[in-house]
Structure formats: structure tokens, C-alpha cells
């Protein structure tokens, strides 16, 4: 039985979950209590970092003896990139992001990702889902190689609703349309959701609230 809870605190220990083909490590980094995720292939040790948000020494420590094969930025907001330049300088790992947010990052993007693209992490494969609204180039990362899907949603989906669209009706509609079509419309209720801040959730826990989110407009 896994002891993983998904509850992490800034400066506290990481939480680790073993799933088929991957070891998922979640850590909360300063200065903005962001969640960072390391996806490590259990066969090869190859590791993908999802959001180098802060505390580069801690992230590099968690990579350990694995090879960092990429840093995937879910979007270009400042709080999700504080450690990016230092991690890249230390490892030479390529940076992956969507073209819509690439110019907002402090280092060049080595690979531009689009909806449906895949990224190889050793023997494991993850795919990306473009969810436009929180930012133009917001991405989620999907791992479907386990008995249940695992979705790393960045700031596009949280327990209780979609990410912040700053009361912009068109951005909100875009994000909700993408979430309903590409996420809730494609993935089962047991899909585990790992957000960019705070605790985890599942699609099943959030699905009944979709009409309420639409009605309230945020």
C-alpha cells in the first residue's frame, strides 16, 4: 500500500509515489509554495522535471544519480521558473515548453511542444495537453502507463476549479472548453491530478462541479 498523500510543505520532505514505470516525486519549493514534480523512469533512471519553480539545489539533489532528460515548463509565469536557469546550467538538460509561453522563460526553449506531442523519459512516455486560458501556452503532462492515468496540470486545474484567468471571459471560456474536451471528456474519474500548487485531486472528485464552474465564471 502506497503511503503517498500528495501533501507537501515548503521546505519539508518530498512525497514519493511508485507507479508502473515511473517514480513520481512531489516537492514544494520556495519562494511561492509551488509544486515541482520529478518523473523518473524506474528502468533507466532518466528523469523529467515538471516545472523548475524554485530551490535549484533541492531539485538537483532529488534528481540524484538519474539523468535529467528535460525540464518541462507547464507555463511561463514567473513563479514556475525561479530555478530554471540554474538547473539547466548545472545539467545541460533541454527545456521544453509551448510556443505561446516560450518567450516568457529566462532561457531558450530547446523543444517547442504542441497538443498531443509525446516526451520520452527512459522507457516511459508522457504526452502533453495544451490547455489555453491561464496563459496562451499552458500545458498539462499526462502519463497513461499505469493502471490509472496521472495528470500534472500546472496552473490549469486545481481542486475546486480551473486556474486563474483574471476575470477575462474569453480566457475562461477557452480554458473550460479545453478542460472539458481534452481532460474530462477523455480521461476516467480515477485520473490523479497533480496541480502546480496545493494538494492533489482526481477528475472524479471535480467532475460534478463542472456546471457550477461554468456558471460562476471562474
Domain ranges of the chain: 15-216
Counting residues of the chain whose pLDDT is more than 70, the rounded percentage is 100
Asked if CATH classification 1.10.10.10 holds for the domain at 15-216, the reply, yes or no, is: no
Task: Reply yes or no on whether the pLDDT at 114 is more than 90.
Answer: yes
Q: In whole angstroms, what is the distance from residue 203 CA to residue 152 CA?
A: 12
E strand intervals along 117-177: 118-121, 124-130, 139-143, 150-154, 157-158, 161-162
pTM over 0.75: yes
Q: Alpha helix (H) ranges present in 77-162? A: 84-91, 99-102
Q: pLDDT tier at 61 (50, 70, 90 boundaries)?
A: very high
Element at 70 (helix H, strand E): strand 68-72
pLDDT tens-digit map of 141-172: 999 999 999 999 999 999 999 999 999 999 99
Amino acid at each position: 500500500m502506497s503511503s503517498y498523500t500528495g501533501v507537501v510543505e515548503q521546505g519539508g520532505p518530498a512525497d514519493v509515489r511508485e507507479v508502473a514505470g515511473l517514480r513520481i516525486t512531489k516537492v514544494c519549493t520556495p519562494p511561492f509554495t509551488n509544486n515541482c514534480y520529478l518523473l523518473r523512469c524506474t528502468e533507466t533512471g532518466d528523469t523529467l522535471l515538471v516545472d523548475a519553480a524554485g530551490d535549484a539545489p533541492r531539485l538537483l539533489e532529488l534528481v540524484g544519480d538519474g539523468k535529467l532528460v528535460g525540464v518541462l515548463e507547464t507555463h511561463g509565469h514567473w513563479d514556475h521558473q525561479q530555478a530554471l536557469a540554474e538547473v539547466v546550467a548545472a545539467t545541460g538538460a533541454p527545456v521544453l515548453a509551448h510556443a505561446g509561453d516560450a518567450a516568457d522563460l529566462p532561457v531558450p526553449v530547446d523543444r517547442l511542444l504542441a497538443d498531443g506531442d509525446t516526451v520520452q523519459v527512459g522507457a516511459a512516455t508522457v504526452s502533453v495537453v495544451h490547455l489555453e486560458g491561464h496563459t496562451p501556452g499552458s500545458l498539462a503532462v499526462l502519463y497513461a502507463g499505469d493502471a490509472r492515468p496521472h495528470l500534472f496540470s500546472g496552473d490549469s486545474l486545481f481542486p475546486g476549479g480551473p486556474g486563474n484567468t483574471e476575470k477575462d471571459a474569453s480566457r475562461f471560456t477557452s480554458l473550460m472548453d479545453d478542460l472539458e474536451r481534452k481532460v474530462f471528456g477523455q480521461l476516467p474519474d480515477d485520473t490523479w491530478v497533480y496541480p502546480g500548487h496545493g494538494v492533489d485531486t482526481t477528475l472524479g472528485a471535480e467532475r460534478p462541479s463542472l456546471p457550477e464552474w461554468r456558471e460562476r465564471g471562474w
